[in-house]
Structures are given as C-alpha cells and as structure tokens.
Structure 1
Amino acid sequence: MIVGVLRETAPRESRVALTPDDVRGLSTAGLQVVVEEGAGRGAGFADSAYRASGALVVADRATVFESSGIVAWVKPPAFELASMPLRAGMALVGFQDPHYRRDEIDRLRGRGVESVGFDLVPRDETTTEIDALSTMSRIAGAVGYAEGRKLLSPQVRARPIRSLVLGCGTAGLAAVAAAHTFADEKPSAVGNRLEQESAALAAGAGRFVPNQDDNAALLDLLATTPPDLIVCTAVHRGSRAPRLLGQASLDLLTPGTVIVDLVAKAGGNCVATVPDTTVTLPNGVLVTHRSNYPTAHPRAASHAYSAAMAAMILRIAKGQR
C-alpha cells in the first residue's frame, strides 16, 4: 500500500501530517510513502529528511493522489478535491471539518472515497494509542488562552486577569492551566457534569460552575463576576457545539472583554463567532477564532499529530490487507 502526504494549503497552516521519523516507521512496516515536495518545510522538515527516511518526494499533489491508496493531511485542502485523480477505495485521513464539509464528504463517499476524520473518531480509553484530536486540543487550549490574553488592553494585562473557561475537556483544562503560567487569577471553569469538577480544580481552576441547558448558572456568573477573557472549548466529539454565549450573555460583558472561541468549526459556543475571523461587537466585546492555534508550535505539534496519523494508517492498512 502507498501512503501520500500532502503539503498543507489551508491558510496559515505550517504543520505536516507525517514527520520523517514516522515515515521511516511506516516504511519499516512495509508501506511505501509518497511526499509532496515542501510538505514538511513549515515545520522544519526538509525534503532530504523524507528521502533519507525512505519516502519518494514528488513535485505535485496530483501525483500524490494518483499514486496513493491513503492520502494524509492535517486540515482539509484549500483546492477542489474533485480536481484530483480520485478513485474508489481511497481513504483521505486527517481533520475533516464535518459540519462544514458534510455535503462534500457525502459526495466523496458516493464515489467510493472514504473520509477518515480525527474530529469524529471516538477516543479509545482502553489503549495507549495517541489521539490526534486530544493532542491538538491540548495545544490549542494553551495557545488560545495566551493569544486571547494578548488582545486585552495593556491596562488589563498589567494586572492578573480574570478568565472564564467554557468546557472541561482537554482544551478547556489546558486553558485553565495556562492561566497559572501568567500568574493570572485562577479561572472559573464551566462544565455540564459534576464529575468534571475535580479535573478542573486539579488543573488550576478557582471554582467550577455546573451549567445546565438554560444557562442560568453561566448568566449569573457573568453578571456577578464579569471576566476579562473567555475561552470557549465546549463540544462533544463529532457533535455540534452548544451555544452557551447568546445575546443575553454578551450584553452582560464589559467593553474590551475578549472571547476566544476554539470550537467555531463545530458551530461555536458564542452566537457572534465567525470562523477564522476577529470581530468587535457594538458593545466593545472582541470575539476571535482561528482554526489552527497549534501552528504556533509547528514542529512539536507535527510530531504529536504524526504519531496519531501513523497509528491510524497502520490500522487502516491492516484492515485492508
């Protein structure tokens, strides 16, 4: 079986789906790897390193698709997949943005091309296999907190800021922990299950607020303790993100408040979120989203992502033999 690795074309994306080390591991397992020229450059991996690991480096993406039974990417390509030489039996592996690309994924499936999405693959707690979504979420939570903090006014940043984290999954707990690195106030963490409290407090939250569907607890928190920074991370894997910050919530915030919505590609926790855009609301609240926060650390993020990708490829290859 031949595995293809694309050069990323999503805006500002510098990660790569497979590192030279994991290419070597796949080659040792009996798989051939074809890498598009320049695929690893943004993460610091030269074409020569891929050749030394046993890969064939080719000049164009069409050759990658033509040669490969499995094509690996980080983010969905910016080009039209229909323009590539697709064929039945191929597997396209990586993040798939299923809420925005559902129709395209269905069309591909109709042609016999399967889309394997890390955003949809259930986490298996019974194995030690690295989970791509969890590792990228951990980086995104920490980076999202830090970048949101930079958007606050200098006067606010001059003191320990008050933050609120929505969601107590991997990204949320990473955002909570990030507050400690800046010596900020301990964040308030909002979750939908009481059993999340211990993890939130262990990560460094000052308090845990259990929130129900009516958002009454969240609205009360915003009214009594308005935060400087809100980091939105609440989403169940494969599901649409709950709208936790509606207009009533936004009206309670003070001018200059920053909202970082990490789950915009799943619909967003904030009603005012626009994917890959920063907007300022009429009341002076800033709402921002970027789909690739892990690219702030492209080499480390690529190593983590590649390990998960290699494990998934081996699983697929074993099933097809």
Structure 2
Amino acid sequence: MIVGVLRETASRETRVALTPDEVRTLSAAGLRVLVQEGAGQGAGFADEDYSASGAVVLEDRAAVFERAGIVVWVKPPAFELDSMPLRAGTTLLGFQDPHHRRDEIDRLRRRGIESVAFDAVPRDDTTTEFDALSTMSRIAGAVGYAEGRRLLAPGRLARPVRAFVLGCGAAGLAAIAAARTFGDERPTAVGNRIEQRVAAIEAGAGRFVPNRDDNAELLDTLAETPPDLVVCTAVHRGSPAPRLLGPAALDLLGSGTVIVDLVAKAGGNCVATVPDKTVTLLNGVVVTHRSNYPADRPGSASRAYGAATAAMVLRIAGERGEVP
C-alpha cells in the first residue's frame, strides 16, 4: 500500500498529517510513503527529514493522489478534490468536517472513494490510539483559553479572570486547566450530565453547573456571576453543537466580555459566532472563532496527530491484508 501525505492548504494551517517518525513506522511495516514537497515545513520538518525517513518527496500533489491508495491530511483541502486524479478504492483520511461537507463525502462515496473521519472516531478505551480529535481538542482548549484572555481589556486583567467553560469534554477540561496556569479564578464548568462534575472539579473548576435543555441553570448562573471569559466547547461528535448562548444569555454579559467558540464548525454554542472571525456585538461582547487553534503549537500537535494517523493507516492496511 502507498500512503500519500499532502501539504496543508487550509488557511493558517501549520500542521502536517505525518511526521518523519511516523513515516519510519509505516516504512518499517512495509508501506510506502509519498510526501508532497513542503508538507512539514510549517511544523519544522524539512523535506530532507522525510527523505531520510524513507519517504519519496513529490513536488506535485496530483502525483500524490495518482499513486497513493490512502491520502492523509489534517484539514480538508481548500482546492477542489474533483481537480485531482481520484480513483475508486482510494481512502481519504483526516478531519472531514462532516457538518459542512456531508454532501461532498456522500458524492465521493458513490464514486468508490471512502472518507475516514477522525471527527467521528468514538471516544472510548478501545479507540485511544486513533483518537486524534481528543488530542487536538485538548490543545485547542488550552490555546483557545489563552487567546480569549488576550482579547480581554487590560482592566479585566488587573485581577484574576472569571471564566465559564461550556462543555466538559477534552477541550473543556483543557480550558479549565489552562485557567490555573494563569492564576485565574477557578472556572465555572457547565455540563449536560451530573457525572461530568468529578472530571471538571479535578481539572480545576470551582463550580459545576448541570444544564438542562432550556438553559435555565446557565442563565441563572450568568446573571448571578457574570464572567469575563466564556469558552464554548460543548458538542457531541458528528452532531450539531447545541446553542447554549442565545440572545437572553448574551444580554446578561457585560461590555468587554469575550466568548471563544471552539465548535463553530459544528454550528457553534453561541448564536452570534461567525466561523473564522472576531465580531463585537452591539452590547460590546466580543465573539471569536478560528478553525485551527492547535496550529499555534504545530510541532507537538503534528506529532500527536501523526501518531493517530499512523495507527489508523496501519489498521486500514491490516484490514485489507496489505501489511506484510
């Protein structure tokens, strides 16, 4: 089997789907690896590093598609996949953004081209090595908290920041932990299941609020202790994100409050979120999102992502009987 690694084309993306270490792992298993020229540059990996690891470096991405049976990426390409020499039997592996690309994924499947989505890997003990989403979410939670903090007015930084974290998955727990590194107040964590309380408190939350579908508990808590910073991370894999911050919630927030919505690609937890933009509402609340927070840490993020990619490639190759 031949594995192809693309140079990322999404805006401001610096990660790479496989590092030279993972290329060595795949090569040792008997797989051939093609790498598009410059694929690892943003993460600090030179073409020479890939050549030394056993990969063949190709200038043209079309040549990668033409020869590879599995093509791996981090983010879906910005170019039209139909412009590439795709053939039946090819597998496309990476984040697939199924919330926005479902029609394209279905169309490719009808052509015999499978899309394996890290977005949809179940989060359980049997899938840990393939769970790129949890790893990237942890980085996104920490980076997103820091970015939101940078957007706060200086006056709000004169004292420990008061934060709310919506969602207690990997990103939410990482955002809670990040507050401790800045010496901020212990955040308020909002979850939809009472059993999430233990993990939230262990991560550093000072309070856990179990929220119902009507958001009554969240609204009461916002009115009682308005936050400086809200980090939105609540989403179930493969499903639209719940709208937790509607007009009523936004009216309770003061001017200068910052909302970082990490799940805008799934529809967002905040009704005012605009994907990949920072907007200031009429009441002075700032709402921000960008799609690649882990790209702020390209080296470590690429190593973690690459480990999951290599594990999934080996699984697919093994299922097809293509691992010697």
> Normalising to structure 1: TM-score of the pair?
0.99
Is 119-128 or 203-212 further displaced after alignment? Answer: 119-128
Secondary structure of the residue aligned to 2:10 is coil
1:37 is aligned to: 37
Corresponding letter in the other structure for 1:16: V
The structural deviation recorded for 1:237 is 1.1
Unaligned runs of 5+ residues in structure 1 are: none
Is 237-246 or 299-308 further displaced after alignment? Answer: 237-246
Q: Distance in 2 between matches of 1:190 and 1:39?
A: 39
Corresponding letter in the other structure for 1:54: G
Q: Distance in 2 between matches of 1:85 and 1:121?
A: 27
| RMSD after superposition | 0.8
Corresponding letter in the other structure for 1:154: P
1:220 is aligned to: 220
Secondary structure of the residue aligned to 2:120 is coil
Q: Distance in 2 between matches of 1:254 and 1:123?
A: 36
1:68 is aligned to: 68
Corresponding letter in the other structure for 2:306: S
1:301 is aligned to: 301
Secondary structure of the residue aligned to 2:314 is helix
Corresponding letter in the other structure for 1:50: Y
2:211 is aligned to: 211
Corresponding letter in the other structure for 2:122: P
1:277 is aligned to: 277
The structural deviation recorded for 1:123 is 2.2
The structural deviation recorded for 1:201 is 0.4
The structural deviation recorded for 1:89 is 0.6
Secondary structure of the residue aligned to 1:242 is coil
In the TM superposition, 1:142-291 aligns within 5 A as 142-291=142-291
Corresponding letter in the other structure for 1:158: A
CA contact (8 A) 2:121 2:127 kept: no
Corresponding letter in the other structure for 1:200: A
> Normalising to structure 2: TM-score of the pair?
0.98
Q: Distance in 2 between matches of 1:104 and 1:253?
A: 39
1:148-172 residue CA offsets vs partner (Å, 9 max, x unmatched): 0000001111210100000000000
Q: Distance in 1 between matches of 2:307 and 2:261?
A: 27
Secondary structure of the residue aligned to 2:294 is helix
The structural deviation recorded for 1:127 is 5.4
The structural deviation recorded for 1:128 is 4.8
Q: Distance in 2 between matches of 1:128 and 1:262?
A: 22
Aligned length in residues: 321
1:30–1:13: structure 2 CA closer, same or farther, 3 Å change rule? same
2:24 is aligned to: 24
Q: Distance in 2 between matches of 1:163 and 1:139?
A: 18
The structural deviation recorded for 1:124 is 3.4
Secondary structure of the residue aligned to 1:92 is strand
Q: Distance in 1 between matches of 2:276 and 2:318?
A: 37
Q: Distance in 1 between matches of 2:97 and 2:122?
A: 15
Corresponding letter in the other structure for 2:20: P
Secondary structure of the residue aligned to 1:219 is helix
Secondary structure of the residue aligned to 1:57 is strand
The structural deviation recorded for 1:220 is 0.3
2:117 is aligned to: 117
Corresponding letter in the other structure for 1:123: R
CA contact (8 A) 2:121 2:130 kept: no
Secondary structure of the residue aligned to 2:57 is strand
Secondary structure of the residue aligned to 1:64 is helix
The structural deviation recorded for 1:118 is 0.4
